[in-house]
Structure 1
Amino acid sequence: MKRHALLIAAATVCTMTLATSAIAAPAGSWTVGVGAGYVMPTDDNGSLVNDTLKVDLDSDTRPTLTGEYFFAENIGVEVLAALPFHHDMTLTDAAGNVIKAKTQHLPPTVSLQYHFDNMNTMVKPFVGVGVNYTTFFKERIYLNESSLKVKDSVGVAGHIGVDFPIAARDAVRVDARYINIEPDVELNGNDIGTVDINPWVFGVSYIKSF
């Protein structure tokens, strides 16, 4: 339940505030953001092969790019892109034997967002909810000649953050996302279970308004 709190809060606030008047992000304006995102998978990544292999994924940081178009005052649609994230995977059986694996992924995300720009001219929080599509590639498992495949995943995503204006059209953004990523996994073409990645993504970026 706790890991879905951000999604519930984002959806609730978006629903309650869509009709609220605001002044700082007029319809037709847009922003571009360049920064970095730290992907931190959930502590419990589940298990594979009938619960015989416990899965653990590490975290990674990569450059990110965002673009947001405001189709109404303070209500925008944002697209998140990034360079591929890399994750090492550790598979551990009941006897403590370890199998190493790795994968890369791209997690493009589209969010509907509401910006509370009328609350404080120096601090501008926002909240959003949307959908994520994560595609995996360059999977590898160090187990003889075995072949590992992590399938693509679609899930909901929640987003909260704060913009700190540094000029009329410039800001520094600090944000956090919760993304539902639970891909199915195949070994040598056979389904062996699902990995619970479900990461928090923490970001810092420079935002330019147009």
Structure 2
Amino acid sequence: MKIKSLSLAIISATALLSGAVQAYETGDIIVRGGLASVNPDVDSGNIYAGGVEQADQRVDVNNDTQMGLSLTYMVQDNIGIELLAATPFSHNLQGKGGLAGLNDFAEVKHLPPTLTVQYYPMDNSSAFQPYVGVGLNYTIFFSEKFINGADATFGSLELDDSLGLAAQVGFDYEIAENWSLNAAVWYMDIDTTGTFKNANGTGDYKIDVSLDPWVYMAGVAYRF
């Protein structure tokens, strides 16, 4: 009798546990939100003035943290499609090399919508759900302007939008029914060309910059 009672108790506990850890299945929608930090790994060319390269006149770009949001639809138990969005990121352009004395001389905002196909290797009974993804990033630059006195000398700053590859790794860890902790990192291939003029509208300047940022996000996830 005691053995039978113990067996029933184990079976019941196992059923309850497996019900509590019910992870992702086909048709699920997962919304993730948290803080997202964009950390550019800058490789800057030199500025060209009137088509002539200016030796050792390069730029750097600082980091920024904003609210990040992503939406994943599970097309299969182990395959999801994710769209990453965020509130606009704002970065300062800083002088480098021969331009180091300029410090922060320009400001630009951008949005980095990124579409990835994700693979979840774990069984859907696992509370820990790591994933990897590959896809495309389209970065939209806007509100470009010179600051800190540089606007008295230069104007008409524009950065080209960028289309490039993206890769990610991340995980969810279920803490309650439908709720998980989330952390993820992306690497994005972002290249842009900046153009600008003198403040009076004359002159042509150009610079090519590879931003290629690492993007880190930590927050929570909710499964519908």
- Per the normalisation by structure 1, the TM-score is 0.82
Please give the per-residue CA displacement for 1:67-98, whole angstroms capped at 9, x wherever unaligned: 11111122011000100000011123527442
Q: 1:135 to 1:190 in 2, by over 3 A?
A: farther
Match of 2:27 in 1: 28
Contact 2:57 2:99 in 1 (8 A): no
Superposition map of 1:147-186 within 5 A: 147-186=156-195
Structure 1 range deviating more: 165-174 or 45-54: 45-54
Of 180, 192, 195 in structure 1, the residue corresponding to residue 206 of structure 2 is 192
Cα distance, 1:123 vs structure 2: 2.2
Superposition map of 1:82-121 within 5 A: 82-94=86-98, 96-98=100-102, 100-118=105-123, 121=126
Looking at structure 1, the residues matched to 43 and 208 of structure 2 have their Cα atoms a distance apart, in angstroms, of 12
Cα distance, 1:208 vs structure 2: 0.5
Looking at structure 2, the residues matched to 115 and 207 of structure 1 have their Cα atoms a distance apart, in angstroms, of 15
Q: 1:113 to 1:136 in 2, by over 3 A?
A: same
Supply the AA of the counterpart residue of 2:215. V
Structure showing greater Rg: 2
Cα distance, 1:65 vs structure 2: 1.0
Please give the per-residue CA displacement for 1:92-128, whole angstroms capped at 9, x wherever unaligned: 3527442611100000000000112328824211000
Match of 2:130 in 1: 125
- Per the normalisation by structure 2, the TM-score is 0.77
Cα distance, 1:190 vs structure 2: 3.9
How many percent identity over aligned positions? 32
Looking at structure 1, the residues matched to 26 and 126 of structure 2 have their Cα atoms a distance apart, in angstroms, of 19
Contact 2:168 2:184 in 1 (8 A): yes
Structure 2 stretches lacking a partner, 5+ long: 1-21, 198-202
Match of 1:55 in 2: 59
Looking at structure 2, the residues matched to 118 and 60 of structure 1 have their Cα atoms a distance apart, in angstroms, of 36
Looking at structure 2, the residues matched to 27 and 191 of structure 1 have their Cα atoms a distance apart, in angstroms, of 52
Supply the AA of the counterpart residue of 1:125. P
Structure 1 stretches lacking a partner, 5+ long: 1-22
Match of 2:9 in 1: none
Structure 1 residue 205 and structure 2 residue 219: aligned? Answer: yes
Contact 1:45 1:57 in 2 (8 A): no
Looking at structure 1, the residues matched to 58 and 87 of structure 2 have their Cα atoms a distance apart, in angstroms, of 28
Runs of 4+ in 1 over 2 A off after TM superposition: 43-52, 91-97, 119-123, 188-191
Q: 1:47 to 1:95 in 2, by over 3 A?
A: closer
